[in-house]
Amino acid sequence: MSLAFFDTNILIYMFESEGTEKQRRASALYERHLDEDSVVLSVQVLNEFFAAVTRRAAAKMSISSAVRAVESLAIGTVHPLDADLTFKAIKRAEGSRLNFWDALIVESSLRAKAEVLYTEDLQHGQVIDGLRIENPFRELN
């Protein structure tokens, strides 16, 4: 079983009401890893998800629907944030082209011992300290 870290943008697509190809792909990918008990998230991802789906037009949710969505996402492994992780992200951002928030996602993924990070925000195929970056929508963009 390879652990898979899901970035916020992948989860947001799962809850879009339009029935897009991105929604179908995100849902199938998440369900496959959920079945394998290999989904990993962070508190940052849950926070960003809640903020985005309560304001983003394509996935606009009521507060109560968004709470239920976060609760459903939080049933798996959710890694906390702490000062040490923040300092590692700062150091990574300083020494790379990553912005702080992407560096924090990478550091959270590495701490969780994930083998793959699903995201649209980083370069597909890139490997960072053994963590493989995959954009499940690369053919669609």
Domain count, the chain: 1
> Domain for residue 139, yes or no?
no
> Domain for residue 117, yes or no?
yes
Report the 3 state secondary structure along the chain.
Answer: CCCEEECHHHHHHHCCCCCCHHHHHHHHHHHHHHHCCCEEEEHHHHHHHHHHHCCCHHHCCCHHHHHHHHHHHCCCEEECCCHHHHHHHHHHHHCCCCCHHHHHHHHHHHHCCCCEEECCCCCCCCEECCEEEECCCCCCC
> Domain for residue 140, yes or no?
no
- How does residue 56 score in pLDDT terms, banded at 50, 70 and 90? low
Strands 131-134 and 127-128: antiparallel
What was the pLDDT predicted at 57? 61
- How does residue 133 score in pLDDT terms, banded at 50, 70 and 90? very high
In terms of pTM, does the model score above 0.85? yes
Domain that holds residue 118: 4-134
Evaluate if residue 140 carries a pLDDT over 80.
Answer: no
- How does residue 61 score in pLDDT terms, banded at 50, 70 and 90? confident
* Residue among 110, 141, 119 nearest 3 (CA): 110
CATH for 27? 3.40.50.1010
**Contact between 29 and 136 (Cβ < 8 Å):** yes
